Structure 1
Amino acid sequence: MSFHRYRPRLPGGELAPMPWPVSLYRVLNHVAWPLEAESGRWTVFLDRLTIFLGFLVFCEHNEVDFHYLIANRQDMDNLLTGLPTYLILVEMQIRCFQLAWHKDRFRALLQRFYAEIYVSEEMEPHLFASIQRQMLATRVNSTVYLLALFNFFLVPVTNVIYHRREMLYKQVYPFDNTQLHFFIPLLVLNFWVGFIITSMLFGELNIMGELMMHLNARYVQLGQDLRRSAQMLLKKRSSLNVAIAYRLVLTHILRRNAALRDFGQRVEKEFTLRIFVMFAFSAGLLCALFFKAFTNPWGNVTYIVWFLAKFMELLALGMLGSILLKTTDELGMMYYTADWEQVIHQSDNVGENVKLMKLVTLAIQLNSRPFFITGLNYFRVSLTAVLKIIQGAFSYFTFLNSMR
């Protein structure tokens, strides 16, 4: 059903360009990616059926992964071997199927993004290039996650070489899963879960990054347009209508500002729960991954790659959140330094001067509080929050390492 999956379009109707991690996310993750709005009833039914079956597969993996932890609760090394995959599984089950429940809302958000917010390379080459530089960390992180996924392909190879029948993850089944008629289907399901989880990890990071950085670029463009408009009006040297013209320009800028903030609030509503879940699991996950990588680095290369991927994911998201936070925090100063005093100095219309000053004051007040993405309003997505999570993870690691 990949041909029924939603493909974003630009206002002119042409297909929107998507970065390769987002394109890969669309292809690999049928659970999270929405269908086209005009999809037929049978297509929607089959999509929901596969989502339900996928949820059951995740529940089955949750069960056997948890049984492994219970069976090894007295052995800390074995327990921490299975803990990272279990934590990732639970986190992704919550995030992925919460998104699956709201796929239509996610599609509507993407439609609005490409219709109103997306900065095209043809129209704004400098802003577009700036966005690509800001998104470089998420692209590198996607590559590292793919490397982590490819590590799973080594398991079937070692199974053949050493005549073993091991699963991709540490699991304990209530039956003999090494029998061939059980082992092959279960191994296929292991791979399917791995593709869904990995594509969700790097795909949603890149989606959030695209939304935030294009929104950030629109805020930057807002300030540029305001300053450019003021300079053009001042050059005209019209002493009677300059305040009226500037007030009209400022009113239009404020309406654009309100539309951008409304879009940001839509982004916040869409991602806030999943961000909260991501950050809530991150400290324990980083701790377990680093413990395995630290205690046996040569024997746990997979854990090292997963640790680097998760570490980079948090830093990239925190960096992008801080960029947006900094830009919107400067909006009030942007209006204050937009040459309105020069306009008033040049204008002879006292009544319009008063109206303009009131409008500038209102603009500064409305933008006194910066916009930021949160996790259920418990924390802001910023480098500060990420560094606190990393600090907590290494505190847990120190405690576990002292118990060895």
Structure 2
Amino acid sequence: MSTEYYLGLMSGTSADAVDLALVDFANNQVQLAATHSLPLPSDIRQQIHHLGNPADNEIDRMGELDRQLGEIFADSINQLLSTTGISPNQILAIGSHGQTIRHRPPGTVKYPFTLQIGDPNTIAERTGITTVADFRRRDMAAGGQGAPLVPAFHQAIFQKPNIDRAVVNIGGMANITWLPRSGKTLGFDTGPGNVLMDAWILKNLGKSYDANGDWAASGQVNKELLEDFLAHPFFAQTPPKSTGREAFNLAWLDNRLAQKTLSPADIQATLLALTAESIAKDIKHLTTSACEVFICGGGAYNLKLMAELAQRLPQATVASTAALGIAPQWIEAMAFAWLAYQTMNRKHGNLSAVTGAKREVVLGGVYFA
């Protein structure tokens, strides 16, 4: 039986792991064939987060980490191949998102830019597979935000003609794809997803994330603090819009908490409410009618967050993408397999209505094996 394999590789804002999805596009289908996840060591995660903000000796530190991540990404791919018994010759291309270390979208600096590292030359050389990378900068060159890019993939596999749908990816940051039964697909970042909750529990409990949202569930939401959080200028922006750790980070949070005497659990509860409220508000701006809302990314495993979203969206059916047959963890990696497929077939990968680009363009640079 013929196959048309592409491999997607994703390392998100949380920088907790490299997720891989092997996708078969044969016969105009999109079938998830295999998956693999490689946790990133804590020292690598710390280096990534430190590069997210200006500091000394950035170029040398970035150059070394770029190569190091390229090696890690290649190792993760070779592990998947070894486990599945699939030959590199069977994979037409790798789509590597890379690790974002700086994102300055239009409106924040004179010359907007976005920067992802994880050397694709190293990936192609170490795996023997053609690699497509640096997807976001071509959209920026066309006047776009460079993000989010996954809505085009969501549109391709999740849109239905008889129901309005929203697909919400809750990773470090959260973004929404609006898939109306008719009309244009829309998409944009809604604000922080897990990034602030993860940073706060790491600082206070030494844990990398709040399993099931249990710690948040033990606290009480402080409405005054929530309103202060929601006063961030990003929430008043109209789409297209994108954000990152540059805007929402532990330093920003500590500044908001100055001279406040709340318990750490209450602050965690309020941070979860911030994520839920910002997502729900944007969905309500898109529609007040019945719709389906599907959650992917790590946030789909936060039971407290899922419950808060369902409570805030009584007109919607809220579920994870598992209800559509794909585990939430693999959607973004699948999206970059699809983006590599688009690039290698010289098809556009962005949606101008989502990113604000002047036109839809072929994304990424190709590094042939």
TM exceeding 0.5 = no
Bin of the TM-score, shorter chain as denominator length: under 0.3
Kindly name which structure, 1 or 2, has the bigger radius of gyration based on alpha carbons: 1
TM-score w.r.t. length of structure 2: 0.23
Determine which structure has the larger strand proportion and give its number.
2
TM-score w.r.t. length of structure 1: 0.21
